[in-house]
Structure 1
Amino acid sequence: MKFQLAFQPKEDTATIRIAIDKGGLLRRMEFTNLPRRYSDIEANGELSVTPEKVIWKLPNESAWLTMTVKVSHTKRPDVYDAVMTEDWTIFRGDDIFPSAVTEEVPGAYAIATLEVTLPEGWSSIETGWPRKEGTTFRIDNPDRLYDRPVGWMIAGNLGTRRSKIGKTALTVSAPKGAALKRMEVLTFLNFVWPEVKEAFGAVPKKLLIVGMGDPMWRGGLSASNSLFLHAERPLVSENGTSPLLHELTHMITRIRAGKSGQASDDWIAEGLAEFYSFELLYRAGGMTTDRRRAIITKLERWGEQAGRLRTRASKGPVTAMAVVWIDELDREIRRRSRGDASIDDVTRDLMRLRKISFADLKASVERLIGKDVAAFRSPLIEEVR
């Protein structure tokens, strides 16, 4: 399977082509149509295009599908999570190559590549995937048969810094002239990386960090193999938490929430990310015990508005109180296991599940230290009615 991508900066579009040399093995693809973003959809075989969906029945021989995709995209008015200019572009592959429901011959598997054609004057492209050569990347997603190129990507006239931390190839890239302090990011991650590996066990073979200032989203956004950080966000905020480590935790753990009845369990994923955003720095020697205690105290004050954790959505005060609750749970696990276990063991357990619920968290903790856990009797985790 070959994905091809070419940019048209003046039109703010990209042309994609999906080519499959043995169409008979992949029989059918179906994906949601987004008429405001997708246009000029063509393919061989049988193609059905409606405003709601695209259905492609592939021919037995070589199969192909092409389409044009609008690149720039707003997260809210005047705030973008994808931008294309005449000199560079930043986007997520997830938004360019549509997710699809596929029907294939049993036992079929894909060997996928992404080939990128750069406009004249553009110097390079960076993705979270291993580079095969030049502007071609190997796409291997063991979670899916349809190996589409997901994650953050940046192309154009770029300033890029690279480093090898242990077995992880780290790339930090931003458009030339952007305010992102690339060397500071590399130095910061070199400092904290041993604690990242100790906490989570598995670390990626490659990590791409993309940065840019306005009009991009003024925060961080993570993907499965990469993350975006607004160039003006500090590596460590005045409240002691690190936006970079928050998104890095999301990216590595890939823990996301399901639902428990009427309540969302998003507070678990967000609480863990915010907890590790200062805890990893503390463990690396980047702050004192007093400073760590002050962070928890401030989060507790902010979280007093929350009332309970198991609500329909995890807002700021809910996440703040989730951190306080997780810290208490960590101390209880360490005490009852006599130092043999910690919240890290629970996090690694949840990483195997990826999509988790409060019941999964509770079961993981009880496997470590038994039942009658004080943290689970807290009024904070009463379920919303």
Structure 2
Amino acid sequence: MLHILKAWRSCKLVILGLLLASLNSWSPAAYADKNKSVYDIDYRVQLDPGDDFAQVTIALSGSALPSQLTLHFNPERHIDITGEHLTQKGDRTVWQPEPGRAQITYRFKIDEKRSSGRYDSLMTERWTILRTDKLIPPVSTRASKSLKSRATLRVNTPKNWNTLAPYAKDEHGVFQLKDPGRRFVRPKGWMISGRIGSRQDVIDGTDTVVAAPLGKGVRRQDTLAFLSWTLPELKKVFPEFPQKLLIVMAGDPMWRGGLSGTRSLFMHADRPLISGNRTSSMLHELVHVGTGIRGDKESDWIVEGIAEYYSLETLRRTGGISERRYQQALEELADWGKESPNLLVRRSSGPITARATVVLHQVDQAIQKASKGQRSLDNVVTALAANRGEVTLQKFRALAEEAAGAPLPQLERTFLSGKKKP
């Protein structure tokens, strides 16, 4: 009996020690130290109908803040910049906020007209469409590696306006920004605000919203139906596809095409879901959303070629077009591509993208043949999408030849520049 009592006393001492250790680890001092590693960023935007300038405030709060922020403002669109501890260095504004609370304000010109005379950002009396990563400029920070940010976006508008962005809202209508891997979080992607209509559905795990200004001629439900049978196939190749997707649509005078953004895209309301040449601008831009890649000074053809090829492939794989129509589309693209035999240029034009699509089809066929059907171009683009970032010819060729297990003459520089046939 005595040895049992001694064992019980020892057990109580161990439990007491564990409790004391636990209390010590959750002490107010420890909790305060933990909070020092996180600060808050509150983006506030004021939109007024008819005024093509947005009033923007970036407010920081926390016991520890970055020692320095460099904001890369566009002098043609960001004006009237004010705040404490600011220094102008060319087109850069250096901000050295003091711990506690600090803020900077400026005005942003919303209307932006492209060379075609159409707009890719516009404010009207009834609605506005813009990209938030243009509204909030790129920011580089100097801060401790342990210091991270939490960010929200508040958009103030007239009472009868609604605002949508590719982020979740809390119960107060405030966007909760997420950007995994980034220590300084800022909003990215398309935003639409105003008297708008939307349709929403969860498609293969992706919360998908199609939104447009109120009015006739916008195919919100048609677009959702189209995505319900194409997006799941697309996600098989791009499994890192975002869980939230916003598609913004509008008619004239907006740009008559498609433009991708982070977790979002813009598409002119008059663009068909499937074009007469059997490609799809909608799927093309969705591939851009899914890959998140960009080319270097000679590899834009890879980025645009992948988007066009998989818009065509997705339609074929889902039965949207027949095998005969698929082959006809490749033949038409091959003819168009003869206008620009050199792919190794900075920007991919229509003929370059057409030839790039055909080259990627040839690469796909070569990989499948060399690997006896075990691998395909899917393996290559899935790897690119997983890494995102910049793509080079060297990187793309290495991945493709690894998948094939053999050299691919279709990716030799002399062939890509149009100097010889494979």
The one-letter code of the counterpart of 1:212 is A
For 2:63 and 2:113, how far apart are their aligned partners in 1? 35
Show the 5 A alignment for 1:151-190: 151-177=189-215, 179-190=217-228
Show the 5 A alignment for 1:60-99: 60-76=99-115, 78-99=117-138
Larger deviation: 243-252 or 368-377?
368-377
The change in CA–CA distance for 1:163 and 1:277 in structure 2 (over 3 A counts) is same
Could you list the runs of 5+ residues in structure 1 that have no partner in the other structure? none
Structure 2 match to 1:252: 290
Structure 1 match to 2:98: 59
Confirm whether residue 295 of structure 1 aligns to residue 332 of structure 2.
no
The change in CA–CA distance for 1:29 and 1:199 in structure 2 (over 3 A counts) is same
The change in CA–CA distance for 1:62 and 1:377 in structure 2 (over 3 A counts) is closer
- Measured after TM superposition, the shift of residue 8 of structure 1 is 2.0
Alignment check: 8 A CA contact 1:300 1:324 kept:
yes
Secondary structure of 1:9 counterpart: coil
One of 380, 390, 411 as aligned partner of 1:346: 380
For 1:166 and 1:376, how far apart are their aligned partners in 2? 34
Runs of 4+ deviating beyond 6 Å: none
Alignment check: 8 A CA contact 2:51 2:123 kept:
no
Confirm whether residue 205 of structure 1 aligns to residue 262 of structure 2.
no
For 1:174 and 1:304, how far apart are their aligned partners in 2? 38
The change in CA–CA distance for 1:154 and 1:365 in structure 2 (over 3 A counts) is same
For 1:23 and 1:314, how far apart are their aligned partners in 2? 48
Structure 2 match to 1:231: 269
- Measured after TM superposition, the shift of residue 23 of structure 1 is 6.5
Confirm whether residue 21 of structure 1 aligns to residue 61 of structure 2.
yes
Confirm whether residue 11 of structure 1 aligns to residue 46 of structure 2.
no
Q: Deviations over 1:299-336 (max 9, x none)?
A: 00111122232234322111111111100111111112
Q: Deviations over 1:164-200 (max 9, x none)?
A: 1121100000000152200110000001122111121
The one-letter code of the counterpart of 2:67 is R
The one-letter code of the counterpart of 2:87 is S
One of 317, 321, 328 as aligned partner of 2:351: 317
Q: Give 1 or 2 for the bigger CA radius of gyration.
A: 2
Alignment check: 8 A CA contact 2:371 2:405 kept:
no
For 2:413 and 2:333, how far apart are their aligned partners in 1? 17
Alignment check: 8 A CA contact 2:168 2:176 kept:
yes
Confirm whether residue 33 of structure 1 aligns to residue 67 of structure 2.
no
Structure 2 match to 1:129: 167
Could you list the runs of 5+ residues in structure 2 that have no partner in the other structure? 1-40
Structure 2 match to 1:356: 391
- Measured after TM superposition, the shift of residue 77 of structure 1 is 5.5
Alignment check: 8 A CA contact 1:310 1:383 kept:
no
Q: CA RMSD in A?
A: 1.7
Structure 2 match to 1:280: 314
The change in CA–CA distance for 1:327 and 1:318 in structure 2 (over 3 A counts) is same
Alignment check: 8 A CA contact 1:33 1:51 kept:
no
TM-score (norm 2): 0.86
One of 104, 108, 118 as aligned partner of 2:147: 108
For 1:383 and 1:297, how far apart are their aligned partners in 2? 18
For 1:155 and 1:238, how far apart are their aligned partners in 2? 32
For 1:331 and 1:37, how far apart are their aligned partners in 2? 47
Alignment check: 8 A CA contact 2:65 2:97 kept:
no
Secondary structure of 2:383 counterpart: helix
Identity of aligned residues (%): 36
Larger deviation: 55-64 or 129-138?
129-138
One of 329, 332, 335 as aligned partner of 2:363: 329
For 1:329 and 1:164, how far apart are their aligned partners in 2? 34
Structure 1 match to 2:10: none
The one-letter code of the counterpart of 1:225 is R
Structure 1 match to 2:404: 369
Structure 2 match to 1:218: 256
For 1:68 and 1:157, how far apart are their aligned partners in 2? 23
Alignment check: 8 A CA contact 2:65 2:98 kept:
no
Secondary structure of 1:26 counterpart: coil
The one-letter code of the counterpart of 1:190 is S
